[in-house]
Amino acid sequence: GSADIECDTVVLGSGPGGYTAAFRAADLGQKVVLIERYPSLGGVCLNVGCIPSKAFLHAAKVVTEAEEMSHFGIKMSAPEIDIDALRGWKDKIVKKLTGGVGSLAKVRKVQVVEGTGAFSSANTITVAGKDGNQVIAFKHAIIAAGSSVAQIPGFPYGDPRLIDSTGALELRQIPKTMLVIGGGIIGLEMACVYDALGTKVTVVEFADGLIPAADRDIVKPLQKRIEKRYEAIYLKTKVTKLEARTEGLLATFEGVGADSSAPKEPQLYDMVLTAVGRRPNGKEIAADKAGVIVNERGFIPVDKQQRTNVAHIFAIGDICSDPMLAHKATNEAKVAAEVIAGHKVQFDAMTIPSVAYTDPEIAWMGLTETEAKAQGIAYQKANFPWAASGRALAMGREDGITKLIWDPVTKRLLGAGIVGVNAGELMAETVLAMEMGADLEDLALTVHAHPTLSETSMFAAELGLGIIT
């Protein structure tokens, strides 16, 4: 035909979804082409998402821990922060990982094509690259083109003092004051980094609480801590206007409802970070040329095998559904590649855990108490306070809670929420417990090493069983 390249499976986008799908498909014997518009592979996650944010959050944690050592009788002098070196360290980690993806592609003979891809028919994608167009003919396609940061209409985005998460991770400067618009995971992680580096942070959130998807009791310890550290937190508040002035960015606030804490007067900030969500890239790949349905929000609907309405075209990751998380993308990726290879599999996770890598961390999985109430699901719960954990006390961090939610009849785990140091790591045990259909006795009778934070899951189960009170 007239195609420049012919392959079994083409993967559009090289994020965690795309590269995982491409590698799995190649390992299953397919001839694979991986299309990416940027020279650096790895998508949002590796370049401007999960990984660089965690590098900075680690640095932030060390700084705040050093600061708080004074409570234990150890005084350290204020840290000297060399942001060029800090940024360089982060860039090195990103390079190592994205380079690694490139090497793994080579080893598997996955052909990487650089350029912006769009469907030109149900069996071809045309890639616009530096040296013109290339037509790639495929038998199967996996759409893994991800999502983009959502902007607030009317805000002066040309101004370098107005940044999104990508700009925040460039760490060009440490402003004296910063307004973070959006009290969700990404906004609060970035707030945590800049606070540790010395910025006076203000957070504004439209909803009546931070991280709206998690239970309120699990969010409270984070809120208490950052209320002390940050300049201000405005809930039930929106920023209606943002004006560029020589002295800074001037934000006008408006309360949502009577009990809003919105400031009456406009406030000036050195920098403003918007973190108000991400939108799927479904509308940007000419999906209609292949007959693939894209919904109003830009998602590409799929079935449990990741198949779109067109039988030989699949979609995975941020572009197909919420939650927009890397581990959802990679797990869906394997399913899509295996289905194409003829395996009888489907995406069948009982839960996809969520983690905010703030200080303290907030993690939740399965059913939340809020969801149980809203859906009228019968449940029981136990909250184990870390003030009763020897390990938490020995770390000077008794601000955690481990919460379990279970079925009152079978005592099987339905959900969990953890707030505290390393909550994201601790959550893994409860995810496995739920996947295995474990009940409270399983958790309570499993011997946990002492003294660990992981014991708190066992203690919460013991609380639930009335073994401890």
Binding site for ligand FAD (CB under 6 A): 12-18, 35-38, 43-45, 49-50, 53, 116-118, 144-147, 165, 186, 281, 284-285, 317-319, 324-327, 329, 357
Choose the catalytic residue: 58, 71, 343, 450: 450
Give the shortest CB-270-to-ligand FAD separation in angstroms.
Answer: 21
Give the shortest CB-109-to-ligand FAD separation in angstroms.
Answer: 20
Give the shortest CB-227-to-ligand FAD separation in angstroms.
Answer: 23
Nearer of residues 355 and 382 to ligand FAD, judged by Cβ: 355
Nearer of residues 364 and 384 to ligand FAD, judged by Cβ: 364
Phi-psi group of 201: left, alpha or beta (phi > 0 → left; psi -120 to 50 → alpha; rest → beta): beta
Nearer of residues 148 and 380 to ligand FAD, judged by Cβ: 148
Nearer of residues 284 and 398 to ligand FAD, judged by Cβ: 284
Residue 180: its H or E element = strand 177-181
Nearer of residues 188 and 262 to ligand FAD, judged by Cβ: 188
Nearer of residues 186 and 405 to ligand FAD, judged by Cβ: 186
Give the shortest CB-280-to-ligand FAD separation in angstroms.
Answer: 9
Q: How far is CA 162 from CA 104, 154, 249, 274, 367, in A?
A: 37, 12, 8, 8, 37
Residue among 468, 431, 426 at smallest CA distance from 449: 426
Task: Check: CB of residue 32 under 8 Å from CB of residue 9.
Answer: yes
| Residues 6 or more apart whose Cβ sits within 8 Å of residue 334 | 20, 21, 24
Nearer of residues 385 and 420 to ligand FAD, judged by Cβ: 420
Contacts 24+ apart (CB under 8 A), 324-329: 324/147, 324/278, 324/280, 325/352, 325/354, 326/15, 326/16, 326/45, 326/49, 326/50, 327/16, 327/352, 327/353, 328/352, 329/15, 329/16, 329/17, 329/20, 329/45, 329/144
Q: Which residues pair with 376 in a beta bridge?
A: none
Give the shortest CB-284-to-ligand FAD separation in angstroms.
Answer: 6
Nearer of residues 231 and 284 to ligand FAD, judged by Cβ: 284
Q: How far is CA 278 from CA 128, 171, 318, in A?
A: 25, 21, 9
Phi-psi group of 208: left, alpha or beta (phi > 0 → left; psi -120 to 50 → alpha; rest → beta): alpha
Residue with tokens 């944010």: 53
CA dihedral 240, 243, 247, 252 (to 10 degrees): -20
Nearer of residues 145 and 372 to ligand FAD, judged by Cβ: 145
For the record, the structure tokens of 159 come out as: 């101004």
312 counts as catalytic:
no
Give the shortest CB-188-to-ligand FAD separation in angstroms.
Answer: 11
Give the shortest CB-207-to-ligand FAD separation in angstroms.
Answer: 19
Residue among 56, 39, 329 at smallest CA distance from 186: 56
Q: How far is CA 85 from CA 88, 90, 161, 418, in A?
A: 5, 9, 22, 34
Torsion sign over Cα 42, 43, 45, 49: positive
Give the shortest CB-308-to-ligand FAD separation in angstroms.
Answer: 15
Give the other-Cβ count within 10 Å of 432's Cβ.
10
Give the shortest CB-117-to-ligand FAD separation in angstroms.
Answer: 4
**Cα separation of 329 and 352, whole Å?**
11
Residue among 253, 203, 193 at smallest CA distance from 223: 203
Q: 3-state DSSP call for residue 293?
A: coil
Task: Check: CB of residue 386 under 8 Å from CB of residue 398.
Answer: yes
For the record, the structure tokens of 400 come out as: 């955690």
Peptide bond into 175 cis (omega under 30): no
Active-site residue numbers? 450
